[in-house]
Amino acid sequence: MNRIRSALLLLLLLASFLPASTQATMIVGDTNQDMIVSESELSSLILACLDGSSHIEQNDLRAAAHIYMHYPRTITDSIGQNITVHMPVKRIIALGNYRTEAVKILGASDQIVGISDDIPKYDYYYPELLEKPTVGTWSKPDYEAIVSLSPDIVITSANAERVLQMREKLKSSGITIIGMDFYRDDLLKYEIDKLGYILDRSDDAEAYIDWREGYEVQIAEFVGGLAEEDKPRVLLEWGSSNSPTVIMSQGEGSSADYVCTAAGGRNVCAHLQQYPKVDSEWILKTDPDIIVKCVSTGPILEKWGWQGRDVPERLLDDIIETRPGWDGLSAVKNGRFYIYSSEIAWGPDSIVGRAYFASWFHPQFDLDPAEIYRGYLELFMGVQCPDNMTFAYPPG
């Protein structure tokens, strides 16, 4: 018995250094097939190895000891479903940019075996993933392609209907489906923390959360010292196809509304539905102090951002010229009409957008959003920020 205890102690010690890449297709030592390696099962495995009755590879023993110590792991995803993994995750499919970005900042992009078809356009973020097979769109994946890649988990958006449909389609495959968004500021840190735990990357999750919270606290402390009348009235615009007379805005419950408030602004559409359409005439009467327009990739945004500042400057001029009366708005006359790339608006790098908001709303606030983005890219994405790229204009 002492031999067994000594061997068990040694294995547990070795297992604490075991990388996730040693995962087997079956759980070694799980003799009763309940997806758990119990102490008695591990002891039996060690005894069989010691007395020669079983030819167990040393790596298999270590894997069994690692699973005994650290698994199963259970989290609650963003649609309220309990998710359990019974062994280290080796193979991942992350559907959509935000999910893929989250996996990368956790240092696990080398475990991604398949991508949704939108990822190649983000070649600046994911050069290492461009040769991976695609599995359809992020919202309508190719289930046969997913199964063929044998992932341990698939991470999709936190849409309950989509997650339940995916689980139904893949239930015979044994693939675990996780519903998380990674773009909502109010849920982002929770999701990073839980995914980090599932992927055995809690240290990486903590590093990102600590980094982000450092800037969140700086902004919150500054905003906390402001009187309500010192917070500017802000119109939040989004979309690339707005007409001169009808504008898409963001109201109560939207991500931009959350960020606007956190950055010390007052959203003039906060009393409206989440994504309201507002008349230009109403905007002229409301006369916001600041206008902030989010621009997505398309005909007026060169993929990641803009090369230099000429294009965003012309874009602002064109918007003002084609919207009757806008040249008389306080925001326009005072040079406080801003545009920014959607790349820094949502997702794990959204703290950059919040920093721009805070610096635009309160020019006296000493914060450098461009430097924050540079740090994010180098620390968590492993890419260099191009010196001539513009993500927000005017920068401040």
Q: For the chain, give every domain's residue range.
A: 2-71, 74-200, 220-393
Which pLDDT score is estimated for 14? 45
Task: Give Cα 10 to chain centroid, integer Å.
Answer: 38
Measure CA of the first residue to CA of the last residue in the chain; give whole Å: 71
How many residues does the structure list for the chain? Answer: 396
Distance CA 394, CA 340 (A): 9
User: If DSSP codes are grouped into helix, strand and coil, which group holds residue 341?
Assistant: strand
Which pLDDT score is estimated for 17? 41
Looking at every residue in the chain, the average pLDDT score rounds to: 87
What are the backbone angles phi and psi of residue 291, rounded to the nearest 5°? -120, 130
Distance CA 368, CA 227 (A): 23
Distance CA 114, CA 95 (A): 9
Task: Give Cα 149 to chain centroid, integer Å.
Answer: 23
Q: Which two tokens stand for residue 234?
A: 């802000």
Other CB atoms within 10 A of residue 60 CB = 17
pTM, to two decimals:
0.85
Counting as low any pLDDT under 70, the low residues of the chain are 1-26, 28-34, 36-58, 60, 66, 241, 297-304, 396
Q: What is the pLDDT of residues 226-278, one digit of tens each?
A: 999 999 999 999 977 678 889 999 999 999 999 999 999 999 999 999 999 99
**Type of residue found at 128:** E
Q: Is the peptide bond before 394 cis (omega within 30 degrees of 0)?
A: yes
Q: Determine contact, residues 105/204, Cβ cutoff 8 Å.
A: yes
Write down the architecture of domain 220-393 according to CATH.
Answer: 3-Layer(aba) Sandwich (3.40)
**Superfamily of domain covering 74-200:** Nitrogenase molybdenum iron protein domain (3.40.50.1980)
For residue 385, the 8-state DSSP code is: P
Which pLDDT score is estimated for 296? 79
Q: What is the DSSP string of 33-59?
A: -SS---HHHHHHHHHHHHTTSS---HH
Q: Which two tokens stand for residue 301?
A: 């945004």
Which pLDDT score is estimated for 305? 74
Other CB atoms within 10 A of residue 52 CB = 7
Distance CA 91, CA 99 (A): 14
